[in-house]
Amino acid sequence: MGLRQDKFAKLIQRDLGELFTINKSWTGGAFITISEVNVSPDLGYVKVYLSLFNNPNRSAIMTMLEENNKAIRHSLAQRLKNQVRKIPEIVFFEDDTMDHVVKIEKLFDSLNNKDKKDQ
């Protein structure tokens, strides 16, 4: 990504994070972290990757975000109106890298326990 895209991505990440803490109804009160934001070269489309910690019903949270996408975009527009000409389309994705990390750590722990039993 270019410098302009990086700056815009950081701006979107910061503002969306603040909006999610203010408007808990969009997320059902779930703890959400924005792990990454990717912006298209024309700044018209934004992919937002969310980490959903300790939430058993992740698909429901993602559905709530998609249903509230218009309100989220409108609130974001209020914050960005003096900085950009066009408010980008937002698409939310679940970032499941932490799940993979936990799975790999459990695998390593089981291997270490097996090695200790063999000795």
What is residue 118's predicted lDDT score, i.e. its pLDDT? 67
pLDDT at 52 over 80: yes
- The whole-angstrom separation of Cα 7 and Cα 100 is 29
Q: How do 32-39 and 45-52 pair as beta strands?
A: antiparallel
The CATH code of the domain at 3-118 is: 3.30.300.20
| Average pLDDT score over the chain | 87
pLDDT of residue 85: 86
Which pair of structure tokens corresponds to residue 78?
């209020």
Residue 36: is its pLDDT beyond 90?
yes
Q: Return d(Cα 95, Cα 80) in angstroms, integer.
A: 25
pTM of the model: 0.79
Question: Cα torsion for 10, 16, 17, 22, to the nearest 10°?
Answer: 150
Instruction: List the chain domain ranges.
Output: 3-118
pLDDT confidence tier of residue 31, bands split at 50, 70 and 90: confident
pLDDT band at 38 (very low <50, low <70, confident <90, very high): very high
